[in-house]
């Protein structure tokens, strides 16, 4: 334990000597990683939303009258990720009033007979198969069935192109992450080499002599990693859900954390830091 504690103190020594510059580099690396999480999360959500749009539709079912039971119709429409809403005649009028107020006033002026002209409706949104629609059309309780895609073709193409651009951004951010780690390694290089030479002169093994340099890089990268995760949580909690445009990029208004991308990034950062630290010889000037 004392050996590990000494190596940790020696790992912190180069950071303490250039703490201001290293601090700025660590914070900037955290922002790059935050951009990586955002690109990964949005790319995943775009793929989900695009797939949802390809197989989903809006379905409007008009019932013959107010006395019709809606349960058989809801059962025919039910399915995973399908949202169903039932609107009575009065509720249909309320929604129609914003778009066609004159028509609503005319219907209301007629009284009960006018209200009878307004159909009772069931609205469904989600991946509803064609077989379910054909079954609905044959039901005696149903007056009319209308269906339309969730997103039109132009918006689907937008999702495709945006997803491609996000993947390009992911590659660029990964490159920037590697460059940032290389910059940190270069800045810490002189002090880390001094520590390594001293340890070698005291009879330490090559692994022990190079370990403080690896520990310094590890402290900076993992500190930036932790900071980026905190910033992600803040963004997801107070920005994404409160922004009506960003929230519409996902099916459920949520933004899942890219766990796979996070794990791969952590492994690559660890591998890069180890390669940079242990590729040098302790006695190298």
Q: What is the 3-state secondary structure (H, E, C) of the chain?
A: CHHHHHHHHHHHHHHHHCHHHHHHHHHHHHHHHHHHHHHHHHHHHHHHHHHHHHHCEEEEEEECCCCCCCHHHHHHHCCCCCEEEEECHHHHHHHHHCCCHHHHHHHHHHCHHHHCCCCCEEEEEECCCHHHHHHHHCCCCEEEEEEEECCCHHHHHHHHHHHHHHHHHHHHHHHHHHHHHHHHHHHHHHHHHHHHHHHHHCCCCHHHHHHHHHHHHHHHHHHHHHHHHHHHHHHHHHHHCCCHHHHCCCCCCCCCCCHHHHHHHHHHHHHHHHHHHHCCCCCCC
pLDDT digit string (tens) for the chain, length 285 residues: 566 676 677 777 778 878 888 889 999 999 999 999 989 988 888 888 788 788 888 888 887 776 777 788 888 888 767 888 877 766 666 665 555 555 545 555 555 444 454 567 788 888 888 888 888 888 877 888 888 888 777 777 887 888 889 889 999 999 999 999 999 888 887 777 777 776 777 666 777 777 888 888 888 998 999 999 999 988 888 877 666 565 556 666 677 889 999 999 999 999 998 898 887 665 544
CATH 3.30.70.3040, applies to 57-149:
yes
Q: Where are the domains of the chain?
A: 2-52+154-278, 57-149
């Amino acid at each position: 334990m004392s050996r590990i504690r000494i190596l940790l103190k020696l790992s912190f020594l180069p950071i303490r000597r250039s703490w201001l510059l290293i601090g700025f580099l660590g914070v900037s690396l955290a922002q790059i990683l935050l951009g990586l999480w955002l690109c990964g999360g949005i790319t995943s959500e775009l793929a989900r939303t695009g797939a949802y749009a390809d197989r989903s539709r809006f379905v409007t079912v008009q019932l013959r009258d107010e006395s019709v039971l809606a349960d058989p119709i809801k059962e025919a429409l039910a399915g995973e990720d399908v949202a169903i809403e039932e609107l009575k005649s009065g509720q249909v009028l309320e929604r129609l009033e914003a778009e066609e107020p004159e028509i609503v006033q005319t219907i209301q002026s007629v009284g009960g007979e006018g209200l009878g002209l307004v159909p009772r409706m069931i609205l469904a949104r989600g991946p509803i198969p064609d077989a379910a629609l054909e079954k609905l059309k044959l039901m005696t309780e149903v007056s009319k069935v209308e269906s339309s895609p969730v997103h039109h073709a132009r918006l689907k193409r937008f999702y495709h192109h945006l997803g491609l651009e996000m993947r390009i951004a992911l590659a660029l951010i990964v490159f920037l992450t590697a460059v940032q780690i290389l910059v940190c390694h270069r800045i810490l290089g002189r002090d880390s080499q001094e520590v390594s030479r001293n340890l070698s002169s005291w009879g330490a093994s090559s692994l022990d002599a190079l370990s403080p340099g690896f520990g310094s890089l590890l402290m900076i990268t993992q500190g930036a990693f932790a900071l980026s995760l905190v910033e992600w949580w803040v963004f997801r909690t107070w920005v994404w859900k409160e922004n009506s445009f960003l929230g519409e990029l996902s099916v459920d208004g949520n933004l899942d954390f890219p766990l796979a991308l996070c794990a791969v990034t952590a492994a690559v950062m660890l591998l890069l830091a180890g390669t940079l630290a242990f590729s040098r010889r302790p006695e190298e000037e």
